[in-house]
Structure 1
Amino acid sequence: MAGRGYFLAFAVLYRHFGDVDLLISWTKPSRRHFPEIPKMSSTAQVSLQVQHVPNSPESSYRSDVPRTPPQKLKELAEKHSNIYIVVLDVVNQESIQKCVEEVHELVQEEGLNCLINNAAINLVADFHTVTAEKMIENFRTNAVAPLMITKAFLPLLKQAASRGACGAESMGIQRAAVINMSSLVGSVQLTWGERAHYFKWYPHRASKSALNMVSRCMAVDLESDGILCMAIHPGWVRTDMGGPQAPLSPEESISSLLSVIGGLSEKDHGSFQNYKGETLPW
């Protein structure tokens, strides 16, 4: 099926990137999950649409998350035949493996062209309130889970990379890519001076720094297979997590993010960028 590719996004709702089928993995959070990518309002850019599913479990503060996909998400999948919903608990290895099997049934020999690791949590704690348990839980979801998920999906990513979707030979989502949704607060260099006094979230900051290192290490190991890997910061966005004072609207962040992801090449392999495509300090 020439010119076709598959994108898998965790807790992210994308639809139709050129001639692309989207596989939505709806994450079952074990506790309070906050997506790093902003909540999505309806917007369109060229042949790409991003759809907002309001009041989804990933954007709420509830811990009693239902075990089935929200109604709005199911309605979206019913409306668009190239959207598939796959349930995943990112911190459960058995669930990850089951997800891989389901995705394999869908993509078959085409493989997986783009894996976006986006599900994350933020257990807010400063120096006085942080505990070992909060640190470990944040690390498990934000840094360990993306690594384990990428490892599990590697055969499908390699399959797509070897085929060179759309005849692509260089690195990029046209072949295979792993995009880890990171955060500016994970920058060690920027956590100093005046900036250091904002967002004193020990678990979240440390876990995002760890994710950056995981992304860099994976980039080294995936390069020989032609699989691009990088980390990206979506910006400070007006969402439940970002708050009303954030400078970016969801539409602005999303359109910029997808533009950057769509233009990635080997020069961006192993990088840490923001939603504008600007390089960020580690």
Structure 2
Amino acid sequence: MDPRLRLCGRWQKSTRTSSPSSVWVRDASDLRSIRRATQRVGAALPPGGLNLLINNAAVLPRGGLQTTSPEDMQSALHTNVLGPANIIKEFLPLLRAAVRAGGRAGMSCRQAAVVNISAFLGSFPSIEETYDFLPAISYRMSKAALNMLTLCASTELKRDGILVAALHPGWVRTDMGTQEADIDARESVEGMLDVVFSLNEKDTGTFLNYKGKVIGW
């Protein structure tokens, strides 16, 4: 087993859950759901706070400007941007507790870090290369906004010793990515683990792909 995945086993043991995973936020756009999850996680965590917060929930409306509805735009912005913003805000006390408990110099996911799962489609330089293939204007707008959230949060939370970065998982063969995608979920996850566990203070406020390459905003 990848030794980094043993962290999940230690989390399961420490929280006394019998299942491999627990769904504690059922709607990432619902502030009440997020606050309930924060309370449950805080109660379940061992002393020392929360070291790593990953914002991964997303929706992907695929239409272009002429076919995208206001509802599509609202859904993408609520789930892909407002959700992560509220999650970071509500979990901030647990992240700060991890910094205090860690007592380490510098920044890393072993101290306190936020990783926002973004997408190359939210990168401005990606338009010419990808737009005809997948317009997805609502999704692109939301991921560009998530990238700005990453920059703002990294600037604001640097004083707390909390690292914040955005990560592109690649084009992955999932329900969202379709079976035409370049890589499978295992390759994506293993690559992201390598990147996440190598992050340090020089990486806060950056946008990286699953291989650790910097992506232009």
TM-score (norm 2): 0.90
Give the aligned residue type for 1:203. Answer: S
Give the secondary structure class of the aligned counterpart of 2:67: coil
2:153 to 206, 218, 235: 218
Residue 215 of structure 1: SS of its match in structure 2?
helix
C-alpha deviation, 1:244, in angstroms: 2.1
Higher normalized strand content (fraction of residues): 1
Displacement after TM superposition at 1:242 (Å) = 1.8
Contact kept? 2:52, 2:112, Cα under 8 Å: yes
1:20/1:176 CA distance change after superposition, 3 Å = farther
Structure 1 position 266, deviation (Å): 0.5
Q: CA deviation at 1:89?
A: 1.9
Distance 1:18-1:202 versus aligned 2 partners, 3 A rule? closer
Letter in 1 for 2:122: G
Structure 2 gaps of 5+ residues are none
What is the identity percentage for the equivalent residue pairs of Structure 1 and Structure 2? Answer: 37
Which AA in structure 2 matches 1:236?
W
- Name the CA distance, whole Å, in 2 between partners of 1:258 and 1:162: 24
What pairs up with 1:1-282 in 2 under 5 angstroms? 15-17=5-7, 20-21=10-11, 78=18, 84-164=22-102, 168-192=104-128, 194-282=129-217
Report Cα offsets for 1:47-84 as digits up to 9, x if no partner: xxxxxxxxxxxxxxxxxxxxxxxxxxxxxx5366xx55
Higher helix share: 2
Separation in 2 of the partners of 1:95 and 1:162?
A: 27
TM-score when scaled to structure 1?
0.70
Q: Distance in 2 between matches of 1:259 and 1:155?
A: 27
Give the distance between the partners of 1:190 and 1:230, measured in 2 at CA: 19
Alpha-carbon distance change, 127 to 158 in structure 1, aligned in 2, over 3 angstroms: same
Q: Give how far 1:18 is off.
A: 8.2
| Secondary structure, counterpart of 2:36 in structure 1 | helix
Q: How far is 1:22 from its partner? A: 5.5
SS of equivalent to 1:173: coil
After superposition, the CA RMSD in angstroms is 2.0
1:145 CA drift (Å): 0.6
1:68 is aligned to none
| Residues 90 and 18 of structure 1: CA distance in aligned 2, closer, same or farther (over 3 Å) | closer
Provide the aligned length of Structure 1 versus Structure 2: 211
Deviates more, 1:110-119 or 1:234-243: 234-243
In structure 2, relative to structure 1, the CA distance for the partners of 1:128 and 1:19 (3 Å cut) is closer
Write the distance in 2 (CA, Å) between the matches of 1:109 and 1:168. 16
Distance 1:180 1:257 in 2: 12
